[in-house]
Structure 1
Amino acid sequence: MNRSDRIRDAFRSAATTVINASWERIRLAGAINAEHPLARRYGSMGRGSYVAFPQGDCYNAHAIHIGEDCFIGAGSTLAVGMPTETYPADTPPVIEIGDRTTVGKDYWFVARHSIVLEADVTVAPNVYFTDHNHTYADPWLPVGKQVLQGFSVRVGAGTWIGTNVVVLPGTSIGRNCAIAAGAVVRGEIPDHSVVVGVPGRVVRRWIDGEGWVPPLTNEVVVVEGWPVGVRPTDE
């Protein structure tokens, strides 16, 4: 390696170090927590919650409510209505994210009616939620200009939603469900269900008195000290 190559490599190494250190400082400074001035734009944001930087689009944030100890990933969109729409200041919650919920990066919540994630939900990256669709009854009017139909969406406590899942209007997912990566979900999903595919279908359920139906194919070994779930009093 000649002298010019060594100088070039040293410069690249130094530049990489500076760029990464600077980005880390920017990322930390740009995040929003409950004490940050920008937290006031939300309808509410509980203590311990964190919206990572860079944030995606956020429309009508006063209709978005975030619980305590939540993590919202970078590059994510929380949209109530469209950028050109202004919802009244007294609008009830349209997007509600429950306590201790984690949402991965680059997801979309597009809401006009109601999208609710209950407590302890985990959402992987690149997931899309919507509570409305364009109709297409008029064969001559562009579909994007036709009337919207909306139906509320709810995800039960403790549910896990895999990467690239699409949750469509009118979906109600029960508690402690597992939604496999890439599934497209619509309709009623019972508690303790495993959902896969397009369209999403239930392939396994835990049924009181029977256990998992069909049975689990692999034994799950719980290491010592791992927490054990407790049946909710309302189940």
Structure 2
Amino acid sequence: MSETNTFTLLKLARWREAALKDALGWLPRLLMGPALRRTLYRQLFRKMGDGVFIDTDVEILNAAAIEIGDKVCVRAGVRLDARNPGNRLVLKSKAFLERGVMIMAMRQTTIEVGEGTLVGPYSVLAGPGHLTIGNNCLIAAHAGIFANNHRFADPELTIREQGVSREGIVIEDDCWLGHAVSVLDGVTIGRGSVIGAGAVVTQDIPPYSVAVGVPARVIRRRDGLSVTPQSRLVEQGMPDTLKQALRRAEQALEHLQKLRHEVSAVLLQVVFAELLHRLFEEIRTALDVDTVTLLLPRSSSRDLFVYNTIGLEEEIEQQVRIPLGQGVAGQIAADIQPLIVENLAQVEVASPVLRNRGVQSLLGVPLHLEKQMVGVFHVGSFQRRHFTGEDTCTVESVAERIGPLIRIAQYSS
């Protein structure tokens, strides 16, 4: 079908929508008005569930691209704009759009509002990047969630001529965005996070974080982990691939936690070990190291065992044990401080595997959970390497994200 014919069909559909909207405008909010309005709207929407309430004075553009779940509520003054080809707008069951909310899909865009999510009065959700808001989120009044940014790198061209980005935005389940929060293109806000009123979110926010300010900065964690200025800065500079890998691991952890009482500890341990193994592969690539290792304390004695590793698998096969205070990992656990070893040949090691595998340099940090040391995390290089303070902050930031995973490891082991 030609572009001209497509445009003509869209215009006809728009005229039909406008005529029906005008016909619905006089229907009262009470008595038979809502029921009659639902009956007539079913002729327009791509999908419409049961128990939907659509108030008067709601503007709908390209209803054929809009899907509405059960018991959705759309208050007066809302605008649902799915014009242009390839758009898709989804309001899942029990979503609630307050007065004056504006949702604009732009072009080739999918916007989803999750189940049980409330979008407050006069908030704006806009493409052209894809935009996903998870389940049971609270978006306060006058929020602006814009999956686009104007490009302006070339001063010889007008900003309008340089177009916009469309990286997309993801707001995961159970988030609360305060009054007048702005979320910019390319951002993911992790599950369970709280964004303070007036904040401008320009970088990813880890799960269960509390973030405030312009630009938004994480000031504390809801899961008991500490947040330092160094870790906040480093997290912003993390490679995107590493942030995405950590986020996937945290999402997988949530599913594992739901299974804790349904499967055996042995099976849980196997699944968790595989999850960590995949994460460690991503960490090894992102940090350009040769080994990545996690050691946990044994409850029956004062030593550490290797729970998972990439590059030092012999330590697991040989059941290597590291006494507290001995070797590199033992010293980190005893002092509860990061440690850099630039030349491993010059220090005492408790594990012969380190030298047998040819590890030359090593950087390790303690793992903390709710202010307690719960393990040691270290990375190593087969070449002499000068690990810097910035490297230490990066590894500490990774360790902070791994810390909550240790709950499952301790349970299953």
TM-score above 0.5: yes
1:218 aligned residue: none
Deviation at 1:35? 7.8
1:43 aligned residue: 66
Q: What's the secondary structure of 1:194's corresponding residue?
A: strand
Tell me the TM-score normalised to structure 2 length.
0.41
Correspondence for 1:193 among 209, 215, 240: 209
CA 171–204 in structure 1, closer or farther in 2 if over 3 Å, else same: same
1:171 aligned residue: 187
CA 234–174 in structure 1, closer or farther in 2 if over 3 Å, else same: farther
Identity rate, percent: 28
CA 59–95 in structure 1, closer or farther in 2 if over 3 Å, else same: same
Correspondence for 2:218 among 193, 202, 206: 202
2:255 aligned residue: 233
Q: Deviations over 1:182-208 (max 9, x none)?
A: 00002221111000000000000134x
Query: Which has the larger Rg?
Result: 2
Q: What's the secondary structure of 2:160's corresponding residue?
A: helix
CA distance in 1 between counterparts of 2:165 and 2:184 reads 12
CA 128–30 in structure 1, closer or farther in 2 if over 3 Å, else same: farther
CA distance in 2 between counterparts of 1:102 and 1:33 reads 21
Deviation at 1:234? 4.2
2:112 aligned residue: 96
Correspondence for 1:67 among 92, 96, 111: 92
Asked whether the equivalents of residues 82 and 89 of structure 2 are also in contact (C-alpha less than 8 Å), the reply is no
Deviation at 1:140? 2.9
Q: What's the secondary structure of 2:255's corresponding residue?
A: coil
2:155 aligned residue: 139
1:76 aligns with 2:76: no
Question: What RMSD over aligned residues (CA atoms) do the two structures have, in Å?
Answer: 3.0
Number of equivalenced pairs: 185
Q: Deviations over 1:20-70 (max 9, x none)?
A: xxx994599589869833544143110100111122362339511110011
CA distance in 2 between counterparts of 1:59 and 1:197 reads 32
Q: Write 1 or 2 for the structure with the bigger share of strand.
A: 1
1:55 aligned residue: 78
Q: Which has the higher contact order (CA 8 A, sep 6+)?
A: 1
Q: Write 1 or 2 for the structure with the bigger share of helix.
A: 2
Question: Residue 96 of structure 2 aligns to which amino acid in structure 1?
Answer: F
CA distance in 1 between counterparts of 2:89 and 2:74 reads 13
CA 198–100 in structure 1, closer or farther in 2 if over 3 Å, else same: same
Asked whether the equivalents of residues 30 and 54 of structure 1 are also in contact (C-alpha less than 8 Å), the reply is no
Which residues of structure 2 form unaligned runs of 5+?
Answer: 1-25, 47-62, 228-252, 258-413
Q: What's the secondary structure of 1:95's corresponding residue?
A: strand
Question: Residue 139 of structure 2 aligns to which amino acid in structure 1?
Answer: V
1:180 aligned residue: 196
CA distance in 1 between counterparts of 2:67 and 2:39 reads 9
Q: What's the secondary structure of 2:156's corresponding residue?
A: coil
Asked whether the equivalents of residues 129 and 165 of structure 2 are also in contact (C-alpha less than 8 Å), the reply is no
CA 24–175 in structure 1, closer or farther in 2 if over 3 Å, else same: farther
Which residues of structure 1 form unaligned runs of 5+?
Answer: 1-22, 82-86, 215-230
